[in-house]
Amino acid sequence: MIILLSLSIVMGGLFGSFTTALVYRLPRNIPIAFGRGAKKGGKDSGVARSYCTSCNHQLGFLDLFPVLSFLCLRGKCRYCGASYGAKYFVIECLSVILSVLIFLAWGLSFKAFFALCLLPILLALLFIDLEHYILPNVLVFALFVFGVIARLFIDGTGVSIRDVVWLLFDSVVYGAVAFFIGFIFSRILRKDALGLGDVKFYMAAGVWLGGLILPAFMMLSGVLGLLHGGALRVCHKKPIFPFGPSLIIALVLCYLFKDAIYVYFYE
């Protein structure tokens, strides 16, 4: 158990660190993977080496320990003293906590490793949408691909033409329903009610959940969206809010409790 717990903490920290890179770099079109000139570092070199966004100094080995580096340096750059902010520390802590829960639930299994690989995608989508009001296509597509793998090889029995056809059909249905609802509410409210990124996320969710879960997914995401939007309006006076976090949480909950939803609605 101690070995499993230690492994989950280390893996959660590493995946959390990768998530912070996604959250910062994707909305700013900064490369993630190493490329030409990678040894130079810095934001203007078009490379993947980590650097301080205030002084542009390339970070060293001791600056890159997830969670621990933030605590030891008190959330500041060791070179210029600029504050990093708490957001990336929160992301790393969330990744560690969720990683521990994943390993406790499924142990050392393919399902646990699969969920761990999915974790940076979901966390990055959530935090990017909270800050920038966008759901990057590359992350939504990655979620779609992971959904295909889960549908065919984890939840299903393998690849067949029938399974692939139904998978694509569910994705199209989810996307069409989301687009139609967004169109109707945009006409009523006379402003964009659902972005294309949300519609694409619906299509990815359709692969994960299947057509019969669509009503539950729509109701849960709608309720979460109302709560989130209402809280932002009351606390921060924001007239608009990102819908992505509600979709992400609804997707995770609907997938985890998919069997219970089937029983409740259809049996």
Q: Report pLDDT digits (tens) over 117-141.
A: 999 999 999 999 999 999 999 999 9
Domain ranges in the chain? 1-109, 133-267
Report d(CA 57, CA 128) in Å as an integer: 24
The secondary structure of residue 57, as a DSSP letter, is P
Which own/partner pairs from 216-224 qualify as long-range (CB within 8 Å, at least 24 positions apart)? 216/254, 216/261, 216/265, 217/174, 217/250, 217/251, 217/254, 218/177, 220/250, 220/253, 220/254, 221/246, 221/247, 221/249, 221/250, 221/251, 222/246, 224/249, 224/250
160-187 mean pLDDT: 91
The model carries a pTM of: 0.88
Residue pLDDT, tens place only, 177-215:
999 998 887 888 777 778 889 999 999 999 999 989 999
Nearest to 139 by CA among 55, 201, 196, 72: 201
For the cut 80, the answer to whether the pLDDT of residue 108 exceeds it is: yes
The model's pLDDT over 207-251, given as tens digits with 9 standing for 90+, comes to 999 989 999 999 999 999 999 988 888 887 777 789 999 999 999
Residue whose entry in the numeric block shows the structure tokens 């998978």: 167
Average pLDDT of the residues in 44-65: 71
- Please identify which residue in the block is written with the tokens 């994705």: 171
